[in-house]
Amino acid sequence: MSSEIIKKLRQVTGAGILDCQKALKESNNDLEKAIEFLRKRGQKMASDKGLRETKEGLVEAYIHSNNKIGVLLELVCETDFVARNEEFKKLAHEIALHIAAANPRWKEREEVPAEIIEKEKQIYRENLEKEKKPAEIIDKILGNKIEKFYSTSCLLEQSFIKDDQQTITDLIQAMIAKLGENIQIRRFVRFAL
């Protein structure tokens, strides 16, 4: 295991030397598999830390260059040390930028009112019935359309505008794995003229 591949893996993932060595050992020195191993490990670490209390953080303000879109984001963490960390600040900025561009309506699917989901289902069902789809297929298609609705309307499920292979949740979990603290979006608001 060369020091060059360890260095490259650390640059890509931000993981520690021992974690990189373990990932490379598990993946037979395959860089892509090692990155995937660390991401999965980071997701497990993130779910373990998800119950810890978040009392610190910051409010990020983003105003788009045309001065017609603005975002306020409250991103929280466990300690003031992490809240002052440049990577944490960059994460807050990236999420605020994403909110300005992607215009999510809710933070997560649990916040979507039931009547809105029912209205969406009704619209989808009527369109599918007009297309003469069989009843058993309509239910399956409806489920897929509602999942798509969540992935476009809920911030945590949206694909990140700078990397559509990652959701906002993936972005946060990667930072949790890197900084070792629970990080959450508490709330956000987007203003537009």
Confidence at residue 4, expressed as pLDDT on a 0 to 100 scale: 80
**C-alpha 179: how far from chain center:** 16
Confidence at residue 135, expressed as pLDDT on a 0 to 100 scale: 78
Confidence at residue 52, expressed as pLDDT on a 0 to 100 scale: 61
Confidence at residue 21, expressed as pLDDT on a 0 to 100 scale: 82
Q: What is the CA angle 180-75-116, rounded to 5?
A: 120
CATH 3.30.479.20 assigned to domain 56-107+154-192? The reply is yes
Confidence at residue 147, expressed as pLDDT on a 0 to 100 scale: 94
DSSP 109-136: GGGS-HHHHHHHHHHHHHHHHHTT--HH
Closest CA to 185 of 124, 108, 116: 108
From the candidate CATH numbers 3.90.1150.10, 1.10.8.10, 3.30.70.2740, 3.40.50.2300, the one assigned to the domain spanning 3-49: 1.10.8.10
Confidence at residue 50, expressed as pLDDT on a 0 to 100 scale: 47
Q: What are the pLDDT tens digits along the chain (193 aa)?
A: 677 887 777 766 666 677 778 888 888 888 888 877 777 776 555 445 545 677 899 999 999 999 999 999 999 998 889 999 999 999 999 999 999 999 999 999 999 999 999 999 999 888 888 888 787 888 888 889 999 999 999 999 999 999 999 999 999 988 988 888 889 999 999 999 9
Tokens at residue 59, please? Answer: 């409010």
Strand partners for 76: 57, 184
- Distance of alpha carbon 59 from alpha carbon 29, whole angstroms: 41
